Amino acid sequence: MGKNILVFGPNGSGKGTQGAIVQKKYEIPHIESGAIFREHIGGGTELGKKAKEFIDRGDLVPDDITIPMMIARLQKDDCEAGWILDGFPRSKDQAITLAETLEKEGLALDYVIEIVLDRGIAKERIMGRRLCVKDNNHPNHIAFEAIKPVEKDGKLVCRVCGADLITRPDDQDEDAIDKRHGIYYDETTGTMAAVNYFKSGSGPKVISVDGSKSIGEVTDSIMNEL
């Protein structure tokens, strides 16, 4: 079986981390939809120019622009052994159109990975991240025992080196988090509806894993099924 994979999970579920692990193990590209947008817009392609008009107006880019962008990426040479697409589709409609277009283009879709995580926990995970000012590779998180910051002189500091901790502004923007999660957890038309669409059909094998577990445990659950 090939390794053409879609990965789903709410912001805060560790989806990007798991995607990177799968990429490394199978030596297939980990394609993030946001990066494809930036490439097209930055590169001034026809699709990029069209997309930019919508973005500049604050509108969502329609599927007849985004889907050809995704398909063109999946048809590149480096995708021959497989690919893992992350961040697309976001809605049920996009899922249906993507599945139809893949089929039309003769591209298989082998797996859908779903990282399942409670919405409240996902939010807590985003908001609890702390960055070490001295070293980006010193993870700290107020909600995880294993990487909890330590207290020094009445404040929390990096558990590895004792340096000050900061938060990323995006991680503390509750409105933005709620908006993104609102789209993700919408089971009628949103991303959860897209996942359910794949579950209901006879298409790809759907692998649902418990995202509340540790990174290693989530990886094991995915690898056991791939």
Binding-site ranges for Co ion (CB under 5 A): 132, 134-135, 138, 158, 160-161, 163
CA angle 215, 120, 174 (to 5 degrees): 105
Shortest distance (Å) from residue 143 CB to Co ion: 18
Question: For residues 61 and 163, which CB has a smaller minimum distance to Co ion in the complex?
Answer: 163
Shortest distance (Å) from residue 14 CB to Co ion: 21
Element (H, E) at 115: strand 111-116
CA angle 119, 122, 123 (to 5 degrees): 90
Shortest distance (Å) from residue 163 CB to Co ion: 5
Kind of pairing between the strands at 165-166 and 129-132? antiparallel
β partners of residue 206: 112
Question: For residues 102 and 158, which CB has a smaller minimum distance to Co ion in the complex?
Answer: 158
Short-list 131, 190, 184, 201, CA closest to 159: 131
Question: For residues 76 and 155, which CB has a smaller minimum distance to Co ion in the complex?
Answer: 155
DSSP string, 124-170: HHHHTEEEESS-TT--EETT-GGG--EEETTEEE-TTT--BEE--GG
Shortest distance (Å) from residue 171 CB to Co ion: 17
Question: For residues 22 and 132, which CB has a smaller minimum distance to Co ion in the complex?
Answer: 132
Shortest distance (Å) from residue 186 CB to Co ion: 38
Question: For residues 62 and 162, which CB has a smaller minimum distance to Co ion in the complex?
Answer: 162
β partners of residue 85: 6, 31
Residues sharing a CB contact under 8 Å with residue 167, sequence separation 6 or more, in sequence order: 129, 130, 131
Shortest distance (Å) from residue 135 CB to Co ion: 5
Question: For residues 92 and 159, which CB has a smaller minimum distance to Co ion in the complex?
Answer: 159
